[in-house]
Structure 1
């Protein structure tokens, strides 16, 4: 536990007993350094005889006390915790970058990074603590894609040019491009173009024309991170008649497959669903006729009883 108001770092047992004190008026360690108003004390590597600590020494001056160091600093110290020899020594210190005379009145922290570097937060960042970690961005929105096509009169060819980006995604290594129809049926599992990610926006191109495309983001292991929506290609210049005819033929084949699927669904409805609906309708009509027949019979029976002179006896209360 670190108490900045007593300038002391404590180790406390589960039952509340103080095991040792570092710093302050009553310290259990002999040390060749002092600290004051410290923050963010962390145990790095304890064992039976030694404990390594990291903390930020604010070294703050007060009206009745001089600063405990030339400037505020990050510190890593080694504590020899054996009762026979309780000694504290400085392993590393990281003084204020502006030099002596600069101390942090409050806040600040020290973070030892996995690679051994040390992150020290000073006073110019107006927050209590800061930490450094590897950022991994995984956007919830799909990649952004813009596709356009242009034709060449010289060699009678068409080029499809696709610009793709994914704002916030940090793990994209490769972009794959697929030709598709308007509902996302991919022409082939093999992409028509693939390219390593080139900065924020990557441009892919291929010889040929696709009315619709899908872009796919891959990580460094070859796993799919995400896919774009189906994007319609914008035509910038006149395309050859042959190119348009080929694309129309391909789309028609895709549409025929889609129509076949729709027909199969319709047939399943006719075979399985429609008989159930007919049975339910018949049952409802039968019940309705039964109720109506009973009501008619009751009315007819009442008329006959009245015509025969039968009179209902009056009812008297007891």
Structure 2
């Protein structure tokens, strides 16, 4: 997360005074009554601002996503974000290439945030995972205390993964392995003598604790502690001082974990400017790249600092999101960096870099991932941008959240969402016609919408149809029938789901 703790505010959800809510079964329908500009007493009344989505007025505060470079020969799939700002709805968000929402879920109260929404595989099936919790903790800015959520393609919760022991899981990474285990970090504040670094003898150190947990049983299989292998003298982060001298010293700041091709662990520590390879059996550090004790000679163009998201690529090279800025500024631009490692020669050689056309510098957060077709995808962290690149580095998609937002990471992936609830619709009378607004949160197979209407729910003889146009599709029914139903259709015209029958006038 950011170095500044994010404030969290309660959001009042509602559709305004003209909204009428109706529900049947698992679905919810929304109908907007035409009061002719008067309140329920007949007196003139101010009209409430219309909701962003008439079919889902509860999503009034959902942030807009702007696409500045339209998609051009992009990889298939959707964009996965976790928008964060001082106001608005907190929760995992999926959008399409046009920036239209595909799925959103508000995180539960009180005051929790969602971070790092992505597609993974669990038990050989696609799942969505993200972290929920609070940011801040025991004096460490950007330190999380929470748990991980795993949901299936129907958006049903499979399980929540929690840390073993008394601590809570940090938000910085969550990796499901082919063995059905989960890798993630814990920030553990421990008593520590910091006099050698100029701090207090009764100081506190934030230890980076890596756990591997069996997802099904919750049993801890492996644990690794940074302080057993990496000394505080390797850090570039300043000690807390003054009245904050006894707050935890976040010397390591682990922010990613992954698997190398041989099964060993790959770790990024932002505050030591180092990428580590760790023996998964013994916990020994096999090598360091970068920082004060690098085991490799690193060429100038491959040097990174304040980095995130260290990964192995399919061709054997490695990648990292090089922030280049944090407590200090080492580079004027952040970048996705690719380099090769020659373990025999103990050398690191530059291969490629991916910068943003606006020359962005992201002091915190961010990620850099290889796509299935050889392209790359960057989430710019503290800056609310995301960019897809062709293998040759050409930008083939670029967009952003509102500029007062941020998303810890951003991803591009395919996702077969099939929600189990019903589609929703909103109705409004306009000039003797009924305007039907239909949506289905999370459904990825909808190609067309059909509105059916009539005098009774069982006698819907009138029909109008149109292509899906983003999160919400609007259709116009001539006249003023008594009841309306919205039906979601696939590309072949087959029925995928149907809303409840909603009365036009209440």
1:72-112 Cα deviation digits (max 9, x unpaired): 3221222234x3x343222221346555xx85544333233
> Superposition RMSD on alpha carbons, in Å?
4.1
Cα 1:18–1:97, aligned 2, differ >3 Å: closer, same or farther? same
**Unpaired stretches in structure 1, ≥5 consecutive residues:** 151-159, 235-318
User: Does the CA contact (< 8 Å) of 1:41 and 1:54 recur in 2?
Assistant: yes
Cα 1:53–1:147, aligned 2, differ >3 Å: closer, same or farther? same
Between Structure 1 and Structure 2, which shows a larger proportion of helix residues? 1
Q: Distance in 2 between matches of 1:231 and 1:219?
A: 23
User: Does the CA contact (< 8 Å) of 1:107 and 1:127 recur in 2?
Assistant: no
User: Does the CA contact (< 8 Å) of 1:55 and 1:75 recur in 2?
Assistant: yes
Secondary structure, counterpart of 1:110 in structure 2: strand
Aligned to 2:340: 78
2:324 is equivalent to residue 59 of structure 1: yes
Q: Where do residues 1-318 of structure 1 align in structure 2 (5 Å cutoff)? A: 1-13=267-279, 14-33=281-300, 34-45=303-314, 51-60=316-325, 67=330, 69=331, 71-81=333-343, 83=344, 85-95=345-355, 99=359, 104-115=362-373, 116-125=375-384, 129-133=408-412, 140=421, 142-144=423-425, 146=427, 161-167=433-439, 169=441, 171=444, 172-179=446-453, 182=456, 184-186=457-459, 192-198=463-469, 200-205=472-477, 211-232=482-503
Q: Distance in 2 between matches of 1:128 and 1:175?
A: 32
User: Does the CA contact (< 8 Å) of 2:433 and 2:480 recur in 1?
Assistant: no
Q: Distance in 2 between matches of 1:43 and 1:8?
A: 15
Q: Distance in 1 between matches of 2:336 and 2:475?
A: 46
User: Does the CA contact (< 8 Å) of 1:149 and 1:233 recur in 2?
Assistant: no
Q: Distance in 1 between matches of 2:361 and 2:430?
A: 62
Secondary structure, counterpart of 2:310 in structure 1: strand
Secondary structure, counterpart of 2:287 in structure 1: strand
Aligned residues: 210
Q: Distance in 1 between matches of 2:464 and 2:363?
A: 58
Q: CA deviation at 1:55?
A: 1.2
User: Does the CA contact (< 8 Å) of 2:313 and 2:319 recur in 1?
Assistant: yes
Cα 1:149–1:41, aligned 2, differ >3 Å: closer, same or farther? closer
Cα 1:233–1:32, aligned 2, differ >3 Å: closer, same or farther? closer
When normalised by structure 2's length, the TM-score is: 0.34
Q: CA deviation at 1:16?
A: 1.6
User: Does the CA contact (< 8 Å) of 2:365 and 2:382 recur in 1?
Assistant: yes
User: Does the CA contact (< 8 Å) of 2:488 and 2:497 recur in 1?
Assistant: yes
Q: Distance in 2 between matches of 1:53 and 1:2?
A: 12
Secondary structure, counterpart of 2:313 in structure 1: strand
Between Structure 1 and Structure 2, which shows a larger proportion of strand residues? 2
1:255-278 Cα deviation digits (max 9, x unpaired): xxxxxxxxxxxxxxxxxxxxxxxx
Cα 1:91–1:216, aligned 2, differ >3 Å: closer, same or farther? same
When normalised by structure 1's length, the TM-score is: 0.51
1:178-207 Cα deviation digits (max 9, x unpaired): 45553x32467xx7443333564433557x
Q: CA deviation at 1:118?
A: 2.2
1:35-71 Cα deviation digits (max 9, x unpaired): 223222122337xxxx3222122334878xx83x454
User: Does the CA contact (< 8 Å) of 1:178 and 1:186 recur in 2?
Assistant: no
Q: Distance in 2 between matches of 1:179 and 1:127?
A: 42
Secondary structure, counterpart of 1:45 in structure 2: coil
Q: Distance in 2 between matches of 1:93 and 1:179?
A: 56
Q: CA deviation at 1:121?
A: 0.9
Q: Distance in 2 between matches of 1:96 and 1:198?
A: 29
Q: Distance in 1 between matches of 2:383 and 2:358?
A: 11
Structure of larger gyration radius: 1
